[in-house]
């Protein structure tokens, strides 16, 4: 089963866990409901759509409210260190969580004891803290955009906010940034880089690129990276290899965007509805 760990942008949202259902544009976990329009709920909505399309169980989630103070994230880290030794997940995806190095190390100490070891995917704040901790290589997949890739490539930056200018200027040299990230051991086993052209890479270099269908406006739409991470997580959990899942998810996410015909003002909820159609088309090819 896929497990997704993340936050909801509300301080009064309690720490909850459970299987996720999707009703219209609302995620339901137990008695709690949350809109799919932003952040981890958008990731979860894409993962649910993908799992249902594959005929697999919907994901399990650990969620807590956090608007950036880190209070909710700390309680989530603490809870996970207690419950994960007794849980069994095939795939775990970590998302919008406050980057706190000492908590990440404590959680990794727990994850390292799990048998069998789940596939580990990190995006957003959890990818940042994995790199800050010097433990990127413990992960199977990171899903950075080009700006975040520059952060991974900068061996001195503890957060994207401090990425040095000469590296940020290398935006158009994604292969060089990927090589630099691996050289300094700041990348997961695989990198799925989102951008005008998407890249799948590992330590040996670029494995594949995807640049069609192209919808320039998708870069501005908040949440397109979240949906990609949700789709790839569900495909990996469904049994695909990371390489197969990464390439399929890039095509599915782009195709869902194409069907939505986005403008820079499009909201992610408009795109999520097209994911099943895109999955059907990509997987039947």
Partner 1 sequence: MLNLFGLRKGDHAKRQSPGRVPLADRGILVFENTGEVIQAENLLKQKGREIRVMGPPPEIRQGCDLVIEFPLIEELQILRIITEAGLQPLSIVPVTSPLLRPVNIFQSKDFGSHLMVRAANMKLTVDKETLVIVNISGGGCPDVPFLAASLVGKSLASAPSPREIGHTLCGYALQLAYEEVKRLCSV
Is position 101 an interface residue for partner 1 (rule: CB under 8 A)? Answer: yes
Rounded to whole angstroms, what are the CA distances from 228 to 25, 71, 85, 171?
A: 18, 27, 28, 21
Q: Contacts with partner 1: how many residues (CB under 8 A)?
A: 61
Is position 160 an interface residue for partner 1 (rule: CB under 8 A)? Answer: yes
CB atoms within 10 A of CB 261: 12
Is position 171 an interface residue for partner 1 (rule: CB under 8 A)? Answer: yes
Q: What's the min distance (Å) between Cβ of 4 and partner 1?
A: 14
Q: Among residues 60, 62, 89, 96, which is the contact residue for partner 1, using CB under 8 A?
A: 96
Q: What's the min distance (Å) between Cβ of 44 and partner 1?
A: 12
Site for partner 1 in 32-61 (CB under 8 A): 37-40
Torsion, Cα of 136, 202, 252, 19 (10° steps)? -30
By CB under 8 A, which span of 112-120, 147-155, 202-210, 276-284 interacts with partner 1? 147-155
Kindly tell me which of 62 and 151 has the beta carbon lying closer to partner 1: 151
Site for partner 1 in 253-282 (CB under 8 A): 263-267
Q: Among residues 2, 80, 153, 157, which is the contact residue for partner 1, using CB under 8 A?
A: 157
d(CA 67, CA 21): 23
Kindly tell me which of 130 and 231 has the beta carbon lying closer to partner 1: 130
Rounded to whole angstroms, what are the CA distances from 136 to 13, 42, 153, 189, 276?
A: 30, 24, 12, 8, 32
Is position 7 an interface residue for partner 1 (rule: CB under 8 A)? Answer: yes
Q: Yes or no: say if 93 and 229 are a contact pair by the CB < 8 Å rule.
A: yes
Is position 126 an interface residue for partner 1 (rule: CB under 8 A)? Answer: yes
Q: Among residues 82, 116, 161, 284, which is the contact residue for partner 1, using CB under 8 A?
A: 161
Which residue is listed with tokens 């086993």?
A: 189
Rounded to whole angstroms, what are the CA distances from 160 to 127, 128, 168?
A: 11, 8, 10
Sequence-separated (6 or more) residues with CB below 8 Å from residue 127: 94, 139, 142, 143, 144, 148, 152
Q: What's the min distance (Å) between Cβ of 263 and partner 1?
A: 7
Helix or strand run (H / E) with residue 223: none
Residue ranges in contact with partner 1 by CB under 8 A: 7-10, 37-40, 66-70, 72-74, 96-102, 123-129, 132, 145, 147-148, 151, 156-163, 165, 168-169, 171, 216-217, 219-225, 263-267
């Amino acid at each position: 089963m896929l497990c997704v760990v993340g936050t909801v942008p509300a301080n009064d949202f309690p720490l909850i866990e459970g299987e996720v259902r999707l009703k219209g544009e609302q995620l339901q976990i137990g008695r709690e409901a949350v809109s799919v329009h932003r952040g981890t709920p958008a990731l979860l909505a894409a993962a649910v759509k993908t799992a249902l399309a594959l005929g697999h169980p919907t994901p399990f989630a650990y969620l807590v409210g956090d608007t950036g103070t880190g209070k909710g994230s700390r309680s989530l880290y603490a809870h996970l260190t207690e419950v994960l030794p007794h849980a069994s997940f095939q795939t775990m995806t970590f998302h919008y969580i406050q980057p706190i190095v000492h908590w990440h190390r404590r959680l990794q100490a727990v994850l390292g004891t799990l048998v069998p070891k789940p596939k580990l995917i990190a995006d957003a704040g959890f990818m940042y803290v994995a790199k800050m901790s010097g433990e990127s290589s413990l992960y199977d997949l990171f899903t950075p955009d080009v700006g975040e890739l520059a952060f991974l490539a900068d061996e001195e930056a503890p957060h994207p906010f401090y990425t040095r200018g000469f590296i940020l200027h290398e935006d158009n040299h994604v292969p060089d940034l990927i090589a630099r990230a691996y050289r300094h051991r700041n990348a997961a086993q695989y990198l799925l880089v989102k951008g005008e052209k998407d890249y799948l890479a590992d330590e040996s270099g670029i494995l594949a690129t995807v640049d069609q269908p192209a919808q320039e406006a998708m870069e501005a739409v908040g949440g397109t990276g979240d949906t990609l991470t949700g789709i790839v997580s569900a495909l990996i959990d469904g049994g695909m290899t990371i390489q197969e899942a990464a390439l399929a998810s890039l095509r599915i996410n782009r195709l869902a965007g194409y069907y939505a015909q986005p403008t820079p003002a499009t909201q992610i909820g408009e795109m999520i509805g097209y994911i099943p159609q895109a999955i059907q088309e990509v997987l039947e090819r």
